[in-house]
Copies of this chain bind each other. A is one copy, B any other.
Amino acid sequence: MKPGDSTTGPRALIHALYEAPLSGEAIEARSFETIAREAPPHSFTPPQWTVVQRMIHTTADFSLMNDVKFSADAVSAACDALMAGRPLYVDSNMIRAGLSLARLRAVCPDYNAQSILCHVADEDVAREAKGGGLPRSLFAVRKAKTALNGGIAVFGNAPVGLLELNRLILEEQIRPALVVAMPVGFVHVVESKHEAMSLGVPFIALAGRRGGSPLAVSVIHALCAIAGSRQ
């Protein structure tokens, strides 16, 4: 029996799609049309809006528009870093799984799987966390200190990791090319972002309690698109 030959029961909705196929790309284009139509007025620059649009696409939540904050240099600094193939430090394996190596490679062919660092599940990090009575995210950031200097720091989960990066910037002269500050939650989150935005390093942040891995991924993918269009 082919799909759709059934004569009993209600007709499954997907038959409309079988009859008029839409590819994943076509669906994405329609989604962005809907976002453009429904978005309220805003004052983002065109490249900033490219980033915010993708964040809305990822969450279907227009209310994020009120909370996305860019340093003036964020997009250009991010494009420079991506075109130079700088490493990405990410604070969860979900971000690593979500990031598209193909999109990174389209900007800089030097990118490979080793360009994306995530230490939160490393055994030595777990051991240090247990010994210190502190979250693993803190020791994961410390382990990546060298790469974070000039690298792209991507936080979608752990505020304590971002707090530790803030300290490295303040006290140990580490200077990331960009900080994506989007940890989520109820403890340390708001202040970790507020501090990150005060340090004079390029940032894209989601102020407030919200954040998450898909948002962090969407920001990097939008920046890849912008960097690709500038080449």
* C-alpha spacing A228/B213, complex, angstroms: 27
Tell me if A69 counts as interface (CB < 8 A to partner B). Answer: no
Tell me if A113 counts as interface (CB < 8 A to partner B). Answer: no
Stretch at the interface among A81-89, A104-112, A204-212, A219-227: A204-212
**Chain A window 193-215, contacts with chain B (Cβ cutoff 8 Å), 1 for yes, 0 for no:** 00100000000000011111110
- Is A195's CB under 8 angstroms from B60's CB? no
Copies in the complex: 2
Interface residues in chain A, defined as those with a beta carbon under 8 Å from any beta carbon in chain B: 1, 3-4, 6, 9-10, 12-15, 17-18, 21-24, 27, 30-31, 34-35, 57-61, 92-94, 96-98, 129, 132-138, 160, 163-164, 166-167, 170-172, 184-189, 191-192, 195, 208-214, 217
Complex interface: chain B residues within 8 A of A137 (CB) = 24
* C-alpha spacing A17/B141, complex, angstroms: 15
A–B Cβ pairs within 8 angstroms, 7 of them: A1-B172, A14-B160, A17-B188, A31-B186, A60-B208, A97-B97, A213-B214
- Is B59's CB under 8 angstroms from A188's CB? no
- Is B60's CB under 8 angstroms from A210's CB? yes
Most B CB contacts (10 A, CB to CB) among A18, A97, A189 go to A97
